[in-house]
Chain A
Amino acid sequence: MPVMTYREALKTAMADEMERDDSVVMLGEDIGVYGGTHVITDGLLERFGPKRIIDTPIAEGGFTGAAIGMAMTGLRPIVEMMTWNFSFLAADQIIQNAAKLRYFSGGQVTVPLVIRGPNGGGVQLSAQHTHSLEGFYGHFPGLKVVSPATPADVKGMMLTAIRDPDPVIFLEAGALYGTKGEVADGDATVPFGKARVAREGTDVTLIAYGRQVNLLLKVAETLAAEGVSAEVIDLRSIRPFDAATIVESVRKTHRAVVVQEQWRWFSVASEVAAVIQEEAFDDLDAPVERVSGAEVPAPYARNLELAAFPSEAQIVAAVQRVLYRT
């Protein structure tokens, strides 16, 4: 299989789908002439022309709303949020229109829309440019929310997202754009609602999504050296949510640690912990642990930023607690 970066895999999926389906168009700030702030869309304007690669003014609410209108007439727009931090300006459109149109139109209207862009922090962008919005968007029925962690998944899930009849919140791990991995050629779609066992193990289940999956794989290595066999689950998809894979794993390991970059209160990890206690209570040998971002606006200084996000040491400590080794 060819090896490519997360960035290339993402672009390949979108370009392939635009080639295959004329109804796919793309809108966003500086995606065309400029080539994309994160160089995801470079060259697409030359290839597909300005009617399909639409450079917009800096007006997230306006162009996201317009994309919803396009979707209502049968197009399949992909909106690039330069970063998800700017999506608050479009939140009314995403939440009040995209998510609910099918419902309040009694099923008459379909919104096949993908909104994509980098999510999360880790590169010293400080308070206004650092959010992990999976819990926020995952809260709203009518939206699908995914967070791929690998080049193979970002391609496969983007193909699925574009073909999906409903609005998809596509949260890319911005810090992983340059990471490499094997990506299958052709139409290698990855379905929503199916978690991935990234590493098998027997003593503890570690659960994350997005860039934290890579952190968990490192932690699992460290734990292996100490004789602990950790299973790592990559959720991939926040809504729909794959409870079965998690529950199956916890039935085997009897212990779980959920890791996320976002704030802990009212978060994805809270929901995962609740699902485990509802569906695997008798299998648990310890309370489910959550390792989350510090409850502060993201700081700038490197040492403070590192302290604000889950670290290998914090996760190892949580594992020790669920194993009663402290």
Chain B
Amino acid sequence: MATTERRGKQRSDTDVAGVVDRNGSRVDDATLLDLYRKMTEVRLFEEAAQRGFRQGKIGGYLHVYSGQEAVATGFLAAHREGDKAITAYRDHAHALLLGSEPGAVMAELYGRGTGLVKGKGGSMHLFDAANGMMGGYGIVGGHIPLGVGMAYGMRYRGEPGVVQLYLGDGAIHNGAFHEAANLAGLWGRDGLNPTLFIIENNQYGMGTSVERATAMTDLAAKFDSYGIAHEKVDGMDLGAVLACAHRVVDQVRETGRPYAVEALTYRIVPHGAGDFFEKYRTKEEVREWRERDPIGLLERRLIESGAADEERLGAIRAESKRAVEAAVRFADESPDPAIEELYTDVYADEVGSGR
């Protein structure tokens, strides 16, 4: 991967055969297989969403996560109860991985009353506060200050939680990022900012490559300006992400100081489900990255290490497929939101709604 190599040295937390956790011991096979199940479920969910979009069952925008699964799967494996996560609009995976019902997520995409946010937000605004999912947000960069503030609020209240703050490579050029990172560094000096910045560098902000968006393409190094330590990780390799995640999440929790990881990854699908042409990148480039598809990479590792055979993996994929089919069925059969819902949730006290 030429792009990856250009970005310099990555830490290696993995050995060739298996995956190590923060203590240097191998992650057990059952855990890895469960993460494989989750990754395949996310991929199949996204493919079903793309079909739903083409069928006209999903409106608005649709941004799917295909190709980037190892990033959220690895980091959210280190999520503990009381932690929070916040991301931009490519948010389906994060909700699913935090435990949202696939049916409720798909129903939200379908605009149904049984949706995760009652059909009021759609694809870009998935929330599941009970599981720590503090949202999908539609304005690039706009959610970053919120994550930093949540981290302050949790520490202020004496809670041990960590905020996993996901942002794309495109968001790092936005002023909101720089203002928020500066505050995180500042507040972190007093142990008041347990924010883990996770840059999902999929190489393109929509269709503008990192190289075309900044003269300083080492995105992790941008955190130097704010006194925030950082590293890069191979975001296509679940093993690498997992090992990094456990180590850095614990570190952020213990210190109350922010930390940043740039995960090098790739979106193997167009930016939005409505995009048919991709003038900004070549088919060859996409094909090259697909060879390092995170799911394929994990499959090879599981088979090579003897954790599973092809048949076992096939059975897991079938399980994921059934879960996604059930989600689509649930969404399809769910009713529209009640029309009265139009005016609810504007204010806490409905007296305040307009006049």
A in complex with B: yes
**A residues apposed to B, CB below 8 Å:** 23, 25, 51, 56-57, 59, 61-75, 92-93, 96-97, 101-110, 141-142, 144, 164-166, 192-193, 239-243, 275
Q: Is B355 an interface residue (CB 8 A)?
A: yes
Shortest CB-to-CB span from A44 to chain B, Å, is: 16
Size of B's binding interface in residues, CB under 8 A: 53
Residue contacts A-B, CB under 8 angstroms, 21 given:
A25-B156, A51-B192, A61-B176, A61-B179, A65-B149, A66-B149, A72-B149, A72-B150, A73-B153, A73-B157, A75-B156, A102-B346, A103-B346, A105-B135, A106-B117, A106-B127, A108-B117, A108-B127, A109-B134, A144-B347, A166-B352
Report the bound CA distance from A241 to B353 in whole Å.
Answer: 10
B345 proximity list for chain A (CB < 8 A): 102-103, 105-107
**B residues apposed to A, CB below 8 Å:** 84, 115-121, 125, 127-129, 134-135, 137-139, 142-154, 156-157, 175-176, 178-180, 182-183, 186, 190, 192, 344-349, 351-355
Shortest CB-to-CB span from A87 to chain B, Å, is: 14
Residue of A62, A71, A144, A275 with most partner-chain B CB within 10 A: A62
7 further A-B contacts with Cβ under 8 Å, apart from A68-B145, A107-B344, are A61-B175, A66-B146, A72-B146, A72-B153, A104-B121, A240-B354, A275-B355
A104 proximity list for chain B (CB < 8 A): 117, 120-121, 125, 127
Contact A141 B354 (CB under 8 A): yes
Residue of B129, B154, B179, B349 with most partner-chain A CB within 10 A: B179
Q: Name the 6 nearest CB pairs between A and B, nearest first.
A: A69-B149, A65-B145, A62-B179, A106-B117, A73-B153, A66-B149
Report the bound CA distance from A33 to B130 in whole Å.
Answer: 39
Q: Which residue of B is nearest A99, CB measured?
A: B346
Shortest CB-to-CB span from A321 to chain B, Å, is: 28
Contact A66 B347 (CB under 8 A): no
Report the bound CA distance from A96 to B138 in whole Å.
Answer: 9
Contact A65 B180 (CB under 8 A): yes
Shortest CB-to-CB span from A73 to chain B, Å, is: 3
Report the bound CA distance from A127 to B139 in whole Å.
Answer: 29
Contact B182 A57 (CB under 8 A): yes
Report the bound CA distance from A287 to B190 in whole Å.
Answer: 61
Report the bound CA distance from A144 to B348 in whole Å.
Answer: 11
Report the bound CA distance from A144 to B352 in whole Å.
Answer: 8
Shortest CB-to-CB span from A280 to chain B, Å, is: 15
Report the bound CA distance from A104 to B129 in whole Å.
Answer: 13
Residue of B120, B145, B156 with most partner-chain A CB within 10 A: B145
Shortest CB-to-CB span from B134 to chain A, Å, is: 6
* Neighbour of B186 across the interface among A25, A57, A74, A101, CB < 8 A: A57
* Neighbour of A69 across the interface among B117, B129, B152, B186, CB < 8 A: B152
B349 proximity list for chain A (CB < 8 A): 165-166
Contact A73 B150 (CB under 8 A): yes
